[in-house]
Amino acid sequence: MKYEVLQALDDGATFFLGFCVLVGAAFVFYRSKRAALFFAIGGAVFCLGVAAELMLSRTTPHVAPAAMQLMFSALDTGRHLILFGGLALGLRAVAVQAPR
């Protein structure tokens, strides 16, 4: 019971973080459309990663626990790489277009 509650809080916080980055793209849009695109992609993938984790855990109950842990680790790593890559590329796009 306690584990399920903590897992639900973790999923909710992860989705909220991705949603905040996704909404943050709207605030960057007036400055750089390319930066907004990178922010939106990073935030959307981070949000959708939660759904992918839930789907993966529900549809593959027959998989060994070690293999499931490996799949979750790969999904988490990819999700974070895309989020932080999108943030980095977005900030770079803003910096390149800034007047000197």
- Which of 40, 10, 15 has its CA nearest to residue 25? 40
Residue with tokens 């499931």: 68
Per-run averaged pLDDT (10 residues), the chain, 100 residues? 82 89 86 89 90 85 87 91 92 84
Instruction: Give pLDDT, residue 88.
Output: 93
Residues 47, 25: Cα–Cα separation, whole Å: 14
Residue 9 has which token pair? 């809080």
pTM of the model: 0.81
Instruction: Give pLDDT, residue 84.
Output: 93
Which sequence spans correspond to the domains of the chain?
2-97
List of residues 6+ apart from 18 with CB closer than 8 A: 43, 44, 45, 46, 47, 48, 49, 50, 83
Instruction: Give pLDDT, residue 77.
Output: 92
Amino acid at 30: Y
